């Protein structure tokens, strides 16, 4: 019985976009993985069974061209990229369950079976196309794509006029239900203001989508099952990773699909994820994803950070210098999900120093040092509760429920802000209570206050790092270990004040966030 229940329990299925294989991972890619991982970890802590997929988008002209320029086969370039992107996931402590590559057979089989189904149903037809084509964007363009000066915007690179026969996927007949779906499902597109952008796009009639590329122009793709002279358009191929990676056609798929969240950047919301993808699914008889979460961009000097501008930040450098938790903290704390954020190293250093090294790091070393000095490292039982303590516990109860609610609404930056405000208030409490002075007093009441204050500081630190778990899992774990705490399997129970630390032996003073060498000079 238990087995049956488990087998049919729907997982919380979350995905990232799959990154292009022709570049090195940068801050933008790393951010998306961290954001998705924070949601995945949070859902697991809330008791969900989570399935988390990320991967690599390996076909298309850009990969073919980059490989050619390097004098290697496209698959060699992709293999190298897969090593780099998987290493990025490992360095960021990402808990993905699978990593899909679009050159894998399990993916190609699904793409072919869906293409064949759509073709057999009459949703795909062949027609002659005459018009403009952008190699860089790998898409056909229309007059309306020109800028106000009648020029092709630079993002399209070289635009050429071509005439060729291609296969088209019927989109136009799907416009009405898609508009209805977006209007009647508040949570389909998050943040909600982005839905307006999609509806704006859907105001004009949409053209059918060209889903093939002649092999003479592009070889590096999945051959169409019904015409070997063509390969599939890279977006049509890439979007299907979300179903192939969930085991489409197997029992696993039933347990995972529909996806709960596709986490993507705002640049690939309209039209690929909000128009092509739902229509592809509907036509193929597959349920729609529950939600698409479009995050903003990391900017450098006001511009989107991308390899084409050259203004990139290498996440691995930052992780090597400051550790993965600090990186995860910074990107989650700085970015209001959905908005853009300018990256600056100064701001990175300032968050690292003031929030992590000072507020959190100092609290931990205070607790460990004071317990080590006067208590043989053993956490005492609290003795009395005065106004100062009552205030802290009241603040904690509010903080806990507020932060969980903020995390549920993807307001991670605000949840962290609130958690660190609580940490600061414990530091303020330490200064007001001044246990180092109480330790010198002969008054028996002061002895009670001393025990109480050290217990409170240790206990409130235990509670606060519980809230950091989805974002800074290593730190949470380390602090638990240093406090001699064996975490309850139930996360919400861990966030409740109790006396589990009383009598525990804490570790020796430890520095979680050392000041970087340049600072120490």
Interface residues with ligand MSP (CB under 6 A)? 17-20, 28-29, 31-32, 57, 238-239, 241, 264-265, 267-268, 297-298, 304-306
Q: Which is nearer to ligand MSP, 74 or 361 (CB)?
A: 74
The structure tokens listed for 273 are 């994820």
Rounded distance, CA 336 to CA 313, Å? 19
Q: Which is nearer to ligand MSP, 96 or 500 (CB)?
A: 96
The structure tokens listed for 321 are 């210098």
Q: Residue 414 Cβ, how far from ligand MSP at the closest point, in Å? A: 19
Quickly list DSSP for 249-275. TSHHHHHHPSPSEEEEEGGGIIIIIII
Conformational region of residue 47, where left means phi above 0, alpha means psi within -120 to 50, and beta covers everything else: left
Q: Which is nearer to ligand MSP, 17 or 195 (CB)?
A: 17
Q: Residue 300 Cβ, how far from ligand MSP at the closest point, in Å? A: 8
Q: Which is nearer to ligand MSP, 267 or 395 (CB)?
A: 267
> What is the signed CA dihedral for 418, 424, 429, 434, rounded to 10 degrees?
170
Q: Which is nearer to ligand MSP, 119 or 297 (CB)?
A: 297
b/e string for 36-75 if b means 16 or more Cβ within 10 A? bbbbbbbbbbeebebbbbbbbbbbbbbbbbbbeeeeeebe
The SS3 of residue 157 is coil
Rounded distance, CA 263 to CA 39, Å? 10
Q: Residue 437 Cβ, how far from ligand MSP at the closest point, in Å? A: 49
Q: Do the bridges between strand 12-16 and strand 19-20 make them parallel or antiparallel, or are there none, so unpaired?
A: unpaired
Rounded distance, CA 35 to CA 37, Å? 5
Q: Residue 359 Cβ, how far from ligand MSP at the closest point, in Å? A: 27
Q: Residue 376 Cβ, how far from ligand MSP at the closest point, in Å? A: 50
Tokens 């002895």 correspond to: 447
Q: Which is nearer to ligand MSP, 37 or 359 (CB)?
A: 37
Q: Residue 101 Cβ, how far from ligand MSP at the closest point, in Å? A: 12
Q: Residue 57 Cβ, how far from ligand MSP at the closest point, in Å? A: 4
Q: Which is nearer to ligand MSP, 29 or 194 (CB)?
A: 29
- Where are the alpha helices (H) located in 375-411, listed in sequence order? 387-408
Return the residue nearest ligand MSP (CB atom). Answer: 265
């Amino acid at each position: 019985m238990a087995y049956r229940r488990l087998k049919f329990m729907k997982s919380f299925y979350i995905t990232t976009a799959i990154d292009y294989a022709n570049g090195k991972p940068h801050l933008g890619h790393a951010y998306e993985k961290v954001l998705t991982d924070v949601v995945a970890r949070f859902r697991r802590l809330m008791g969900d069974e989570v399935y988390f997929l990320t991967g690599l988008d390996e076909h298309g002209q850009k990969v073919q061209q980059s490989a050619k320029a390097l004098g290697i086969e496209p698959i060699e370039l992709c293999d190298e990229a897969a090593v780099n992107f998987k290493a990025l996931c490992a360095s960021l402590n990402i808990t993905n369950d699978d990593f899909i590559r679009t050159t894998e057979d399990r993916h190609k089989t699904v793409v072919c079976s869906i293409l064949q189904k759509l073709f057999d149903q009459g949703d795909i037809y062949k027609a002659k196309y005459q018009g403009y084509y952008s190699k860089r964007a790998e898409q056909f363009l229309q007059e309306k794509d020109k800028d106000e000066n009648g020029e092709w915007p630079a993002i399209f690179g070289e635009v050429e006029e071509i005439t060729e026969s291609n296969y088209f996927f019927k989109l136009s007949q799907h416009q009405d239900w898609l508009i209805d779906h977006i209007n009647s499902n508040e949570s389909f597109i998050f943040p909600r203001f982005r839905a307006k952008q999609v509806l704006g796009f859907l105001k004009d009639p949409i053209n059918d989508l060209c889903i093939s590329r002649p092999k003479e122009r592009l070889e590096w793709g999945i051959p169409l099952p019904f015409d070997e002279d063509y390969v599939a358009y890279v977006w049509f191929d890439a979007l299907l990773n979300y179903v192939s990676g969930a085991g489409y056609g197997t029992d696993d798929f039933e347990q995972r699909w529909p996806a709960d969240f596709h986490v993507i950047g705002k640049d690939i919301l309209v039209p690929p994820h909000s128009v092509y993808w739902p229509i592809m699914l509907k036509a193929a008889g597959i349920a729609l994803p529950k939600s698409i979460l479009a995050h903003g961009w990391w900017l450098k000097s006001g511009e989107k950070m991308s390899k084409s501008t050259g203004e990139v930040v290498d996440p691995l450098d930052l992780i090597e210098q400051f550790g993965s938790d600090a990186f995860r903290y910074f990107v989650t704390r700085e970015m209001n999900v959905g908005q853009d954020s300018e990256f600056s190293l100064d701001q990175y250093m300032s968050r690292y120093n003031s929030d992590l090294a000072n507020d959190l790091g100092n609290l931990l070393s205070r607790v460990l040092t004071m317990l080590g000095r006067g208590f043989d490292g053993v956490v005492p039982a609290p003795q009395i509760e005065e106004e100062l303590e009552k205030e802290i516990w009241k603040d904690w109860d509010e903080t806990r429920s507020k932060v969980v609610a903020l995390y549920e609404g993807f307001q991670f930056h605000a949840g962290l802000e609130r958690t660190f405000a609580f940490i600061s208030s414990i530091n303020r409490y330490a200064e007001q209570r001044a246990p180092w002075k109480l330790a010198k007093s002969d008054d028996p009441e002061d002895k009670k206050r001393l025990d109480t204050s050290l217990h409170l500081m240790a206990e409130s630190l235990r509670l606060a790092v519980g809230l950091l778990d989805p974002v800074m899992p290593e730190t949470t774990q380390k602090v638990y270990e240093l406090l001699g705490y064996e975490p309850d399997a139930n996360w919400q129970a861990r966030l409740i004040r109790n006396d589990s630390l009383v009598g525990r032996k804490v570790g020796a003073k430890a520095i979680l966030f050392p000041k970087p060498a340049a600072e120490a000079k």
